[in-house]
């Protein structure tokens, strides 16, 4: 079985409850190593009134201890969450674990703690000096994001032929889709041949570049399948008649891809960081401060799926 470092996320949220309640099941699939020290684990378990499994392996000296405050945005919890994440990454760098799985953080808590990154993916790009790609979804449908956490007004100017070509090449070689990937246009009606915007011209050029490069890299076949589709009309791309032809999509911006994805597969979706020297997965939901430590049964499907992605890859 693979050994997986699990960064514990924001301890004021639901991450630790997910870890404790699912340990018995996931430990049948992997050897989990939880990046939380024993003192903080005991405090959380006591507040949750959950017994700590006897084989729940932890590490020591993560960060200064603090009093867990359910549902609160806290500098101390942000500092601990970031330190837990860094520890997991270092274990992967040192090849002491095979992969990492991250539980949810609170971005404002990271900011209060003086962390310069907006989230895990931003940090991973810096740690490895690599163009990490954010892919979210489940086996039925994955969506990769060309732009991520930037203002909407900056999206159009961020779409250029060179960067998008590189993105498409990196995504295809690391995600390894088995059929054509659907690429979303940016504008309504995918621009209507330039009537509603010219961004699709740049998108099409990048698609053509990537398809040509990937075709030339493949062994000669009679009828090669194109790696990427032409720009799809965004408002129909996720309708059943279109979606059935694709398992992977590339969206030009965050909400364009994630709004339909979460409407369809919110409970089971995961977050995967591609194009890195390590394998990292995550739940695709937040800290859920509103229900943390309230004895509410959690939906664990996203967490379990994040672990299973590691098992299968």
pLDDT tens, residue by residue, 9-66: 999 999 999 999 999 999 999 999 999 999 999 999 999 999 999 999 999 999 999 9
Task: Determine the pLDDT at residue 54.
Answer: 96
| In a shared domain, residues 250 and 299 | no
User: Residue 142 pLDDT more than 90?
Assistant: yes
| In a shared domain, residues 262 and 304 | no
Task: Determine the pLDDT at residue 223.
Answer: 54
| In a shared domain, residues 190 and 302 | no
User: Residue 146 pLDDT more than 80?
Assistant: yes
Q: Cα(92)–Cα(126) distance, rounded to whole angstroms? A: 15
| In a shared domain, residues 24 and 114 | yes
| In a shared domain, residues 56 and 94 | yes
| In a shared domain, residues 152 and 172 | yes
pLDDT in tens, 69-121: 999 999 999 999 999 999 999 999 999 999 999 999 999 999 999 999 989 99
Give residue 20's domain range: 1-130+276-313
pLDDT in tens, 197-207: 999 999 999 99
Binding site as annotated, residues for substrate:
120-121, 262, 271, 280
Binding site as annotated, residues for a divalent metal cation:
149, 189, 254
| In a shared domain, residues 140 and 105 | no
Instruction: Please work out, in degrees rounded to the nearest 5, the angle formed at the alpha carbon of residue 179 by the alpha carbons of 178 and 182.
Output: 130
Task: Determine the pLDDT at residue 70.
Answer: 97
User: Residue 297 pLDDT more than 80?
Assistant: yes
pLDDT in tens, 87-96: 999 999 999 9
| In a shared domain, residues 184 and 95 | no
24 and 50 Cβ atoms separated by less than 8 Å: no
249: confidence class by pLDDT, cuts 50, 70, 90: very high
Average pLDDT, the chain: 95
Domain count of the fold of the chain: 2
pLDDT in tens, 155-189: 999 999 999 999 999 999 999 999 999 999 999 99
| CATH assignment of the domain containing 47 | 3.40.718.10
Strand 270-274, strand 280-283: pairing: antiparallel
User: Residue 137 pLDDT more than 90?
Assistant: yes
Q: Cα(99)–Cα(121) distance, rounded to whole angstroms? A: 15
| In a shared domain, residues 297 and 269 | no
Task: Determine the pLDDT at residue 62.
Answer: 97
Q: Model-level pTM?
A: 0.93
| In a shared domain, residues 48 and 180 | no
Beta bridge partners of 136: 143, 271
| In a shared domain, residues 83 and 140 | no
Neighbouring residues of 239: CB distance < 8 A, sequence distance ≥ 6:
none
Tell me the Cα Rg of the chain. 21
Binding site as annotated, residues:
120-121, 149, 189, 254, 262, 271, 280
User: Residue 193 pLDDT more than 90?
Assistant: no
Q: How many CB atoms lie within 10 A of CB 67?
A: 11
| In a shared domain, residues 64 and 148 | no
Task: Determine the pLDDT at residue 202.
Answer: 96
């Amino acid at each position: 079985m693979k050994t997986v470092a699990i960064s514990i996320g924001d301890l004021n949220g639901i991450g630790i409850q997910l870890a404790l309640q699912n340990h018995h099941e996931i430990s049948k699939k992997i050897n989990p190593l939880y990046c939380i020290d024993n003192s903080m684990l005991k405090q959380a378990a006591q507040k949750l009134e959950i017994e700590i499994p006897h084989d729940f392996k932890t590490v020591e000296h993560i960060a200064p201890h603090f009093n867990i405050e359910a549902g609160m945005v806290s500098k101390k919890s942000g500092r601990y969450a970031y330190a837990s994440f860094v520890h997991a990454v270092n274990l992967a760098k040192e090849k002491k674990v095979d992969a990492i799985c991250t539980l949810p953080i609170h971005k404002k808590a990271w900011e209060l703690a003086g962390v310069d990154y907006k989230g895990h993916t931003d940090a991973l790009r810096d740690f490895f000096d690599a163009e990490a790609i954010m892919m979210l979804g489940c086996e039925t449908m994955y969506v990769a994001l060309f732009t991520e956490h930037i203002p909407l007004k900056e999206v159009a100017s961020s779409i250029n032929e060179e960067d998008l070509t590189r993105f498409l090449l990196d995504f295809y070689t690391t995600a390894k889709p088995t059929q054509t990937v659907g690429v979303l246009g940016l504008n309504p009606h995918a621009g209507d041949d330039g009537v509603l915007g010219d961004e699709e011209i740049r998108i099409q050029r990048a698609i053509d570049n990537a398809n040509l490069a990937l075709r030339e890299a493949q062994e000669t076949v009679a009828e090669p399948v194109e790696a990427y589709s032409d720009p799809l009309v965004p408002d129909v791309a996720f309708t059943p008649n279109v979606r059935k032809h694709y398992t992977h999509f590339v969206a030009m911006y965050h909400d364009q891809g994630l709004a339909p994805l979460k409407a369809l597969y919110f409970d089971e979706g995961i977050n995967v960081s591609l194009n890195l020297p390590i394998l990292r997965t995550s739940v695709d939901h937040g800290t859920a401060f509103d229900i943390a430590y309230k004895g509410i049964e959690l939906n664990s499907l996203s967490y379990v799926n994040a672990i299973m992605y590691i098992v299968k890859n």
